[in-house]
Structure 1
Amino acid sequence: MIIRPTTPDDWQTLKAVRLAALRDAPTAFGVTYASAAQYTDEQWQTRAAGSDKAEYLLAFDGGQAVGIVAGVINGKNEYNLIAMWVHPEYRGRGVAGQLIAAIKERALARGHRRIVLDVAPENVSAATLYQRQGFAFLPEWEPLESHPHISVQKMAWAG
């Protein structure tokens, strides 16, 4: 398994993986499939180049992208883990843990000793994964931007 940041040449792969994630788990992300599907090729190229706010990492098994995670600095200057997803055929194989480890390394390299994320506690598999990776629930809740009727809880990891 190779995990690496996207490059400008990865824009079509990033688009395919991100849209697959949004189709697979439509209520798990802050953006909807419908809105992401409307992004232009130029917007995907900007994201893949790391010129957008988020920095995306992809997990590759050979030439096939099988997972994604991103890090972005939020409005509170916190390193925020977003866009976490692993292709269903690769779940339970340690890919998610490798993606989280890679994003932790990126955050620490950029001087961030703390990473935050939002998760719906009902998403037991995700919440359990994050807890196994050292994240803890905080008493902070907010509506999910893409689905305001869903409340997500903040989790944090401190390195």
Structure 2
Amino acid sequence: MCLTCLIFIICSNYIHADNESFQATCDQQCIFNEISVNTETLKLFPINCSTVCGYLQLSSDSNVTEDQLTTVFKNMKKFYGLVEIVSTPSNELFVFKNNHENLTSNPSVCLRIKQSLNTTAWHIPMIDGKSCEEIEEVAAEKDSSGEGNGRFIAQMLALFLFYYAPKVI
């Protein structure tokens, strides 16, 4: 069965759950303490929180549907922690809309997600309706105007090496 995952990565900050700043970021009721997302752990998700902290792992073992994820995550506007995509057979990527501006200007996000999805299709993923190519263009414009973070060349090099490296089957 092919799993179509709703992948949301909203301004992911890599902060360890035991870190004081992680605990200070979210109300205690808004911390998701489970890692693997499945039908049982999804029942524990803090559905009334607009800001959630935790670690989420979506994998081929995740037995949740896109509709279930959409329903549970509908109130969330920001997620602090780590979202990990592991061995999903899906080539589709659905992301929450209009709540993660930083994501749509960071081309390395597309690269990481593409590697996780194990696909060479450049139009995947779509983040807020933008393809990886469009995100690269935004980053290039920001870099050339001085708005960017100066890492675009390194990210392009990583993309080039990933995309053109020989595939080992």
TM-score (norm 1): 0.30
Q: Which has the larger radius of gyration?
A: 2
Between the two structures, name the one with larger relative contact order (CA 8 Å, sep ≥ 6).
2
Higher strand share: 1
